[in-house]
Amino acid sequence: MASTDESDPTISLVIPVFNEAATLRQLWARLHPALQAMGETWEAIFVDDGSADDSFKILSELREAHPGICVIRLRRNYGQHPATIAGFDHARGRWVLTMDADLQNDPSDLAKILARLREGYDVVSGIRESRKDAFLRRKLPSRLVNRFIAKRTGFVQTDTGCFLKGYTLKAAQEIAEYTDIGGFITATISVLGYRYAEVPVLHHERPHGRSRYGVLTQMDQFMSIFTGYARRPFQVIELIGGIVLILGLAATLAALCGLLHPRAVLALLGIVVAASGLLLGSVGIVGEYTIRLFKLSRRSPRYLVAEMRR
């Protein structure tokens, strides 16, 4: 049953939306019965992340017909994770669930997520079975990110890219507080020490449009994790720089003493090129840190709300 303004719901469902006008009515037709079947009071928070199509119009029409829907329209497109944080900031339920708006998540799996939350877990994530995505563009980068997070933080998440998740309200509020500008919720989960569980969930083919969560987005997530939570990247840069410096000085000394064969000079040239590549990569890593600190120092908002209908 939908909640009313006079009482807080038991469940808050957060769904970020970006140019999903073609799927929203079909999504709600599937989602509404699934929410009703849970037997709890609920609210569905749709966050329009600066859509250029009729998404906000359709959401507003659904809101008029269903009081349990809350529609938040952001001023521009901030990205899936900031839009989700906006939903967390306005959630009132004891448990906060999230899912995509592209019809790839199955609403019937929300009950599985909720059941594990009731067992006392802080965060519950779905694991997509028979994933309906392209291997090179989606699956392979996702697997690499999964392994990197596990290696980097010691926290194993089988499917970091699955957006079908559940949180206690406290966990959602903490994640909203500690996920910095440009950061990723997945990375924040990995370092906050939550009681964590996973459940297998269904995954459908995307019926309309193309996913915007591709290689570049996952590279952004990779760099966010790499630069976000420790000083190890700087230590690696220092170590590589020291090794290259020692080798360079040794090679220069050998060349001055006439100990190098002419062909060895060409080999040294290749080493110089490789070292230059490492240097540029190191500058890029330092740049990531600098940009992160700049954003934090400006105290820029992670999102701005243009309108909310609750």
User: What pTM was estimated for this model as a whole?
Assistant: 0.76
| Same domain as 44, residue 113 | yes
29 and 98 in a single domain? The answer is yes
Q: Are residues 217 and 146 in the same domain?
A: yes
How confident is the model at residue 99, as a pLDDT? 97
Residues 259 and 128 reside in one and the same domain: no
Higher pLDDT, 167 or 258: 167
147 and 15, same domain (yes or no): yes
Q: Which domain holds residue 274?
A: 232-298
**Structure tokens belonging to residue 81:** 């994770």
pLDDT digits (tens, 9 = 90+) for 213-249: 555 666 666 666 665 555 566 666 667 777 776 776 7
What is the rounded (10 degree) CA torsion for 231, 237, 240, 242?
Answer: -90
Percent of the chain with pLDDT over 70: 64
d(CA 99, CA 17): 10
Q: Are residues 194 and 50 in the same domain?
A: yes
Q: Does residue 3 belong to any structural domain of this protein?
A: no
Is the domain of 86 the same as that of 98? yes
Over residues 119-145, the pLDDT tens digits come to: 999 999 999 887 655 555 556 666 776
Does 6 fall in a domain? no
Q: In the chain, how long is the greatest CA-to-CA distance? A: 87
How many independent structural domains does the chain possess? 2
pLDDT digits (tens, 9 = 90+) for 160-187: 788 999 999 999 999 998 876 556 787 7
Backbone dihedral angles phi then psi of residue 73, each to the nearest 5 degrees: -110, 120
Do 154 and 208 share a domain, yes or no? yes
Query: Is residue 109 packed enough to be buried (19+ CB in 10 Å), middle (13-18) or exposed (0-12)?
Result: buried
Question: Domain check: are 89 and 198 in the same one?
Answer: yes
* 34-38, 181-185, 189-193: least confidently modelled range: 181-185
Q: Say if residue 145 is exposed, middle or buried (CB neighbours under 10 Å; 0-12, 13-18, 19+).
A: buried
Does residue 284 lie within any of the structural domains? yes
Domain shared by 130 and 34, yes or no? yes
Contact status, residue 92 vs residue 9, Cβ threshold 8 Å: yes
